[in-house]
Amino acid sequence: MTSSEVRVEIARRVAAQLEPGQYVNLGIGIPTLVADVLGDDSGIVFHSENGLLGMRGLREGEVPDPELVDAGKRPVALEPGGAFFDQSLSFAMIRGGYIDVAVLGAFEVSPAGDLASWSLGEGQANGVGGAMDLAAGAKRVWVTMLHRGSTGAAKLVPACRYPVTAHGVVDLIFTELGVFAPAGDTFRVVSLAPGVTREDLGDEIDARLYTFENEESPVR
């Protein structure tokens, strides 16, 4: 698969876990693709921190409104009944606990659920944006990311090496290899992607970071 196809598959994996009636914030990057892969009748209300509620991805042939963009500045559309508002009200929703799931990108996640998402250290700060507020205010925090960085280093790590956005907040991690849950000292393998084996998770050292509930890990 191409890089873009891999990202779409990760977004599909997230979409499969969402439930109708949930209010879901989508962060920048892979998270924004979740709105694209769900149909209009999903029953999920998508929120964007820049001030949108009830957004959806553009459909094929649909002319974008340049004034309607998501947190990543991508053109989007609004579902019937959707609304846009100023950023202060948007963050009031986040801080008030009205977001059921925040889907965020990350540089690293630890087995303790620590999230590192805003800086690569040594002055390389991307900007924390609304991640701190979402990590603190959302009922659940899900992370989407590629399993390894450009250097081949794993992003699921024993302890975050980069500056931490929030401690102990991550509930699920979605990568091209599967779905994982922080479990204190290890990552619990919720499911592996089709064709992925235990060996694909890394060498012997990396493999110690993962635990399986049973010998036949579920695949979805």
Read off the tokens for 173.
């991690």
Domain spans of the chain, in order of start: 3-212
CB atoms under 10 Å from CB of 85, counted, come to: 13
Taking the C-alpha atoms of residue 215 and residue 220, their distance in angstroms, rounded to an integer, is 16
Q: pLDDT tens digits, residue range 78-117?
A: 999 999 999 999 999 999 999 999 999 999 999 999 999 9
Average pLDDT, rounded, for the chain: 89
The residue with greater pLDDT, 48 or 127, is 48
Which superfamily, per CATH, for 3-212?
Answer: Glutaconate Coenzyme A-transferase (3.40.1080.10)
pTM of the model: 0.91
Confidence of residue 199 (pLDDT cuts 50, 70, 90): confident
More confident residue, 118 or 22: 22
Tell me which of 172 and 128 has the higher pLDDT: 172
Distance CA 201, CA 187 (A): 11
Burial class, 122, CB count within 10 angstroms (exposed 0-12 / middle 13-18 / buried 19+): exposed
H helix and E strand count, the chain: 5, 12
User: How many angstroms separate the CA atoms of 93 and 155, rounded?
Assistant: 30
Helix, strand, or coil here: 189?
strand
Structure confidence by residue, pLDDT tens digits, 21-49: 999 999 998 999 999 898 777 889 999 99
Instruction: Find out whether 93 and 46 touch, Cβ atoms under 8 Å.
Output: no
Place of tokens 């004034």: 67
**Catalytic: 49?**
yes
**Secondary structure of 178-204 in the HEC alphabet?**
EEEEECCCCEEEEEECCCCCHHHHCCH
Give the three-state DSSP class for 180. strand
Type and span of the H or E element at 95: helix 87-95
* Token couple for 41: 């009748």
- 3 state SS of 39: coil
**pLDDT over 90 percentage in the chain:** 65
* The one catalytic residue among 5, 9, 19, 49: 49
Q: Distance between alpha carbon 7 and the CA centroid of its chain, in Å?
A: 11
CB atoms within 10 A of CB 40: 11
Distance CA 202, CA 180 (A): 14
Give the tokens for residue 114. 């620590």
In this predicted structure, the answer to whether residue 215 has a pLDDT above a threshold of 50 is: no
- Residue 190 and residue 212 in contact, taking contact as beta carbons nearer than 8 Å: no
Whole-angstrom CA distances from 190 to 8, 24, 55 are: 19, 21, 29
